[in-house]
């Protein structure tokens, strides 16, 4: 087959059309223009989701840009746009377009939610919460879901030694109740943390960072604002280091330093790009000094009491900083958690999205404070209070240097507009074996683990077609070059499965060059696991992309196709984990398919004719 073809991509095209309509984005051009395209890119616009409530906690609608004043480092800024996201009524939710059904043996990591304006995520932090507090919190959630009204989409995550998706987005209180009452949210601490107290705290902080990154990657594909209600007992961070939760305000996934996983400032980089506001809730209940006896009126010594109060205040300061940096609110010293959920969902049912173009064009990575006021007496504002001014020019320059180094040419400045060039498209279909090089710090390697939270930064559709013949490699026969079955399965009967990927081009970043082309690299990976989580087979294919303007537009409209093949043993229970990664932006998408859900008795549309 040709290196790049827009194959029969109706499933992806339908999903892209549906998703675009849900997000009220303008319709794409129906016909590619004959001449070159002109791209206008602004990297200086700051976007804020702003919750404005009255004294009773009700959202205030009807405000205009003239009602707001915004300043950055005490310098007034001009508001470019303001949009009100009204609470969606039951009738509006009923009118939302349903997701088009997918053909047989066709799967996607795209999961829509009914309310596209705002959704709520509940995070149960079992890693940093005492067991007694966890048990009490579980009962509180069950009680809340029993009286919850339909309409607000919610998802439930749990963090123990890894981040787990307990329940995906649903507006059905009965489904959420079943998830809270089931054993799905029982913490799994089968990977104990050993070492000194300092090593223990650092390990907990690393698990939290990785888990937050995985959650952010999952939530990236969902439109609108997400309220993350983080039920925790203690944030494993320290004020002494000069930063608490880290910096969630990167404009891209590029970070300083050789290893982004070791950079604390990258802790929640994906959360802000996913429009997530964090609402930390200390679940340890009303503060009481340890050792205090109400009967005797006696308490601990002065030193112990001071240490306890200091640590509790420091922990709340950490949590409060998390809230301020993401536009949420911190909660402490309470025992009723259901009203907290109700308060957050009620106050954020309607909100504004405000954008301004900063007058400070020196993007040197410094932190910039934002001050926002509204001309409404008694109104309360919740928004993120600053960002780090990282420029995309340096990552683009690095990408250009890498490209020209490979091509053996001198770097050139990319033009503001490109002109039509001869058709160039190169995607070699060359499997290179069981290689997933990314470290498991919330990155692609972690996303490809069995049962991991499926990221949606890149939405894709995969059609899977099992071939009819069953084959077997004799013990004395040479193993085919493209067969990567692990040793225990290498000489057992297997069937080859064809996989047709269609990845959305909307989150694939290509680098423009002076030759009028757009360059990039995308990885397509398939990992086959057995029921015990052992890797049975892995393939990885690297798509090197060089597109002129017309083909680039076709990729945006129809997606990026790629064909892969993987051998699956006939006998046994297996799971196929599929992933797509844009090397330039590090955006990823992944999903998991039980092999027993792939039927062999139905035709699978979309595959090219032989």
Tens of pLDDT, residue by residue over 548-571, are 888 888 888 888 989 999 999 999
Rounded CA-CA distance 469/410 in Å is 51
DSSP codes joined into one string, 287-313: ---TT--TTT-----HHHHHHHHHHHH
* β partners of residue 72: 75, 370
Helix (H, G, I), strand (E, B) or coil at 346: helix
Rounded CA-CA distance 50/70 in Å is 12
Strands (E), 259-417: 276-282, 351-357, 367-374, 380-382, 386-388
The residue written with tokens 């949210």 in the block is 185
Q: Which of 152, 151, 153, 181 is nearest to 166 (CA)?
A: 181
Give the per-residue pLDDT at 293.
45
Give the per-residue pLDDT at 170.
87
Please report, for residues 15, 454, 530, the alpha-carbon distance to residue 446 in angstroms, rounded to integers and kept in the order given.
26, 10, 17
For the segment 519-541, the average pLDDT, to the nearest whole number, is: 92
Residues 6+ apart with CB under 8 A from 398: none
The residue written with tokens 């692609």 in the block is 444
Helix (H, G, I), strand (E, B) or coil at 342: helix
Residues 6+ apart with CB under 8 A from 592: 450, 451, 454, 575, 576, 577, 578
User: 226-258 pLDDT, tens per residue?
Assistant: 999 999 987 665 433 333 333 332 322 222 233
Rounded CA-CA distance 214/159 in Å is 11
Angle between helices 131-147 and 173-181 (to 10 degrees): 160
Least confident of 7-16, 116-125, 307-316, 447-456: 7-16
Tokens of 560: 């990026």
CATH of the domain spanning 10-30+409-597, picked from 3.30.360.10, 3.40.50.2300, 3.40.50.970, 2.60.40.10: 2.60.40.10
Please report, for residues 383, 433, 460, 480, the alpha-carbon distance to residue 486 in angstroms, rounded to integers and kept in the order given.
51, 11, 27, 13
Rounded to two decimals, the pTM is 0.76
Q: Which of 560, 557, 545, 539 is nearest to 458 (CA)?
A: 560
Same fold, 10-30+409-597 and 118-349: no
The residue written with tokens 């995309």 in the block is 392
Give the per-residue pLDDT at 445.
86
Give the per-residue pLDDT at 70.
97
For the segment 537-550, the average pLDDT, to the nearest whole number, is: 88
Q: What are phi and psi of 463, to 5 degrees?
A: -105, 135
**Helix, strand, coil shares, percent, the chain, to 5:** 25, 25, 45
For the segment 268-273, the average pLDDT, to the nearest whole number, is: 52
For the segment 25-44, the average pLDDT, to the nearest whole number, is: 42
| Number of Cβ atoms within 10 Å of the Cβ of 194 | 7
Rounded CA-CA distance 608/5 in Å is 10
DSSP 8-class letter at 352? E
Give the per-residue pLDDT at 245.
39
Please report, for residues 38, 415, 550, the alpha-carbon distance to residue 420 in angstroms, rounded to integers and kept in the order given.
11, 13, 7
User: For residue 429, is pLDDT > 90?
Assistant: no
Classify 490 in phi/psi space as left (phi over 0), alpha (psi -120 to 50) or beta. Answer: alpha
Q: Which of 464, 459, 577 is nearest to 105 (CA)?
A: 464
**Surface-to-core class of residue 249, CB atoms within 10 Å of its CB (0-12 exposed, 13-18 middle, 19+ buried):** buried
* Mean pLDDT of the chain, nearest integer: 75
Binned at pLDDT 50, 70 and 90, residue 56 comes out as: very high
Rounded CA-CA distance 219/213 in Å is 10
**Surface-to-core class of residue 421, CB atoms within 10 Å of its CB (0-12 exposed, 13-18 middle, 19+ buried):** middle
For the segment 368-386, the average pLDDT, to the nearest whole number, is: 93
Rounded CA-CA distance 430/481 in Å is 11
Q: What are phi and psi of 356, to 5 degrees?
A: -140, 155
Rounded CA-CA distance 95/129 in Å is 41
Binned at pLDDT 50, 70 and 90, residue 482 comes out as: low
DSSP codes joined into one string, 4-71: S-----HHHHHHHHHHHHHTTPPPPPSS--SS--B----S-EEEEEEEEE-TTS-B-----GGGEEEE
Tokens of 334: 């309470």
Q: Which of 494, 498, 488 is nearest to 429 (CA)?
A: 498
Give the per-residue pLDDT at 105.
94
Give the per-residue pLDDT at 15.
46
Is the Cβ–Cβ distance between 525 and 601 less than 8 Å? no
Domain boundaries, the chain: 10-30+409-597, 46-86+352-388, 118-349
User: 117-172 pLDDT, tens per residue?
Assistant: 888 999 999 888 888 888 899 999 999 999 998 878 899 999 988 889 999 998 88
- Yes or no: is domain 118-349 CATH 3.40.50.410? yes
Q: Which of 480, 461, 419 is nearest to 558 (CA)?
A: 461
Residue 215 parent element (H or E)? helix 197-219
DSSP 8-class letter at 596? G
Residues 6+ apart with CB under 8 A from 441: 206, 209, 210, 213, 260, 261
Binned at pLDDT 50, 70 and 90, residue 366 comes out as: confident
């Amino acid at each position: 087959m040709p290196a790049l073809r827009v194959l029969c991509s109706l499933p992806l095209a339908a999903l892209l059309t549906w998703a675009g309509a849900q997000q009220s984005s303008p319709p794409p051009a129906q016909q590619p223009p004959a001449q070159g395209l002109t791209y206008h890119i602004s990297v200086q616009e700051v976007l804020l989701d702003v919750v404005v409530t009255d004294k009773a906690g009700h959202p205030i609608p009807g405000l205009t840009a003239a009602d707001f004043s915004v300043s950055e480092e005490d310098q007034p800024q001009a508001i470019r746009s303001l949009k009100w996201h009204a609470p969606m009524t039951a009738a509006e939710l009923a009118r939302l377009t349903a997701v088009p059904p997918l053909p047989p043996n066709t799967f996607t990591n795209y999961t829509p939610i009914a309310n596209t304006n705002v959704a709520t995520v509940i995070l149960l932090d079992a890693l940093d919460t005492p067991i007694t507090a966890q048990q009490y919190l579980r009962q509180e959630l069950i009680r809340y879901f029993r009286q919850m009204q339909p309409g607000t989409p919610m998802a439930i995550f749990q963090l123990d030694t890894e981040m787990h998706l307990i329940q995906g987005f649903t507006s059905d209180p009965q489904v959420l109740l079943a998830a809270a009452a089931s054993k799905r949210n029982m913490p799994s601490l089968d990977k104990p943390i050993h070492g000194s107290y300092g090593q223990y705290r650092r390990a907990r902080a690393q698990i939290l960072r990785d888990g937050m990154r995985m959650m952010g990657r999952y939530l990236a594909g969902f439109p609108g604002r997400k309220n993350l209600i983080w039920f925790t007992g203690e944030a494993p961070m320290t004020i002494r280091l000069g930063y608490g939760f880290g910096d969630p305000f990167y404009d891209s996934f590029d970070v300083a330093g050789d290893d982004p996983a070791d950079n604390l400032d990258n802790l929640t980089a994906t959360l802000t790009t996913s429009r997530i506001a964090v609402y930390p809730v200390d679940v340890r209940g009303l503060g009481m000094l340890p050792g205090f006896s109400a009967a005797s009126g006696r308490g601990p010594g002065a030193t112990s009491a001071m240490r306890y109060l200091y640590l509790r205040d420091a922990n709340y300061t950490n949590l409060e900083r998390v809230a301020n940096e993401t536009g949420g609110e911190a909660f402490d010293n309470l025992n009723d958690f259901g009203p907290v959920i109700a308060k957050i969902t009620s106050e954020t049912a309607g909100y504004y999205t405000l954008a301004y173009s900063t007058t400070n064009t020196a993007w040197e990575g410094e932190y910039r404070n934002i001050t926002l006021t509204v001309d409404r007496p008694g109104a309360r504002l919740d928004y993120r209070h600053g960002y780090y001014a990282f420029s995309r020019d340096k990552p683009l320059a690095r990408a250009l240097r890498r490209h020209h180094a490979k091509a053996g040419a001198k770097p050139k400045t990319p033009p503001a507009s490109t002109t039509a060039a001869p058709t160039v498209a190169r995607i070699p279909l060359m499997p290179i074996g069981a290689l997933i090089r990314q470290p498991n710090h919330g990155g692609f390697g972690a996303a490809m683990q069995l049962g991991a939270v499926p990221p949606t930064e890149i939405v894709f559709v995969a059609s899977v077609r099992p071939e009819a013949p069953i084959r077997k490699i004799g013990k004395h026969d040479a193993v085919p070059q493209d067969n990567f079955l692990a040793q225990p399965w290498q000489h057992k009967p297997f069937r080859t499965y064809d996989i047709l990927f269609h990845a959305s081009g909307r989150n694939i970043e290509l680098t423009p060059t002076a030759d009028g082309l757009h360059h990039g690299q995308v990885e397509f990976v398939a990992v086959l696991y057995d029921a015990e989580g052992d890797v049975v087979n892995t393939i990885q294919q690297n798509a090197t992309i060089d597109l002129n303007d017309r083909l680039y537009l076709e990729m945006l409209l129809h997606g990026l196709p790629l064909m892969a093949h993987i051998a699956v043993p006939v006998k046994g229970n297996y799971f196929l984990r599929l992933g797509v990664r844009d090397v330039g932006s590090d955006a990823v998408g992944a999903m998991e398919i039980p092999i027993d859900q792939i039927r062999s008795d139905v035709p699978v549309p979309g595959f090219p004719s032989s």
